[in-house]
Amino acid sequence: SRNIRLAVIPGDGIGTEVVAEGLKVLEAVGTKIEPTHYDLGAARYHRTGETLPDSVLDELRGYDAILLGAIGDPSVPPGILERDLLLRLRFAFDHYVNLRPVKLFPGVATPLAGTPTENIDMIVVREGTEGLYAGTGGVMRRGTPHEIATQESLNTAHGVERVVRYAFEKARSRPRRKLTLVHKTNVLTFAGDLWQRTVNRVAEEYPEVTTDYCHIDAASMFFVTQPERFDVVVTDNLFGDIITDLGAAIAGGIGLAASGNINPEGAAPSMFEPVHGSAPDIAGQGKADPTATILSVSMLLDHLGLHDEAARVEQAVAADIAERGAGRGTSEIGDDITARVSG
Q: Which residues are at the interface with Mn ion (CB under 5 A)? A: 241
Q: Is the backbone of residue 284 left (phi > 0), alpha (psi -120 to 50) or beta? A: left
**Residue 275: CB minimum distance to ligand IPM, A:** 6
- Binding-site size for ligand IPM (CB under 6 A) equals 6
Binding-site residues, in ranges, read 90, 100, 126, 217, 241, 245, 277-289
- 84 lies in the site for ligand IPM, by CB under 6 A: no
Q: How far is the CB of 116 from Mn ion (least distance, A)?
A: 27
Catalytic pick from 39, 58, 193, 217? 217
Catalytic (active site) residue 103: no
* Residue closest to ligand IPM (Cβ): 82
For position 72 contacting ligand IPM by CB under 6 A, the verdict is yes
**Nearest residue (CB) to Mn ion, 241 versus 273:** 241
| Cα Rg, the chain, nearest whole Å | 20
Sheet holding 3-11, edge to edge: 32-37, 3-11, 65-70, 270-274, 258-262, 97-103, 121-127, 232-235, 178-183, 210-215
Which 202-261 residues touch ligand IPM, going by CB under 6 A?
241
Rank residues 234 and 257 by Cβ distance to Mn ion and give the closer one.
Answer: 257
Q: Which of 135, 164, 137 is nearest to 149 (CA)?
A: 137
54 is catalytic: no
Active site residue 245: yes
Partner whose footprint covers residue 82, from ligand IPM, Mn ion, none (CB < 5 to 8 Å by kind): ligand IPM
Binding-site annotation, residues for substrate? 90, 100, 126, 217
- Parallel, antiparallel or unpaired: strands 97-103 and 258-262: antiparallel
Task: Please select the residue that binds ligand IPM; options are 35, 37, 82, 178, rule is CB under 6 A.
Answer: 82
- Angstrom CA distances, 27 to 62, 256, 290, stand at 21, 20, 15
- Which one, 56 or 86, has the nearer CB to ligand IPM? 86
336 annotated active-site? no
Within residues 253-312, the interface with ligand IPM by CB under 6 A covers: 275, 277
- Residue 124 engages ligand IPM in binding (rule: CB under 6 A): no
Find residue 7's DSSP bridge partners.
36, 66
Quote the CA–CA distance of 123 and 179 in Å, as a whole number: 10
> What residues have CB less than 8 Å from 187, skipping those under 6 apart?
none
Please pick, from the candidates 86, 123, 216, 321, the single residue that binds ligand IPM as defined by CB under 6 A. Answer: 86
Sign of CA pseudo-dihedral 270, 275, 277, 282: negative
Known catalytic membership, residue 217: yes
Which one is catalytic: 231, 241, 302, 320?
Answer: 241
CB of 277 to ligand IPM, least distance (A): 6
| Cα separation values, 334 from 76, 119, 285, Å | 30, 28, 15
Give me the amino acid identity at 234.
Answer: V
Q: Could you tell me the smallest distance in angstroms from the CB atom of residue 36 to ligand IPM? A: 23
Residue 208: CB minimum distance to ligand IPM, A: 31
Question: What's the closest the beta carbon of residue 51 comes to ligand IPM, in angstroms?
Answer: 13
Query: Rule CB under 6 A: which residues touch ligand IPM?
Result: 72, 82, 86, 241, 275, 277
Catalytic residue positions, numbered: 133, 184, 217, 241, 245
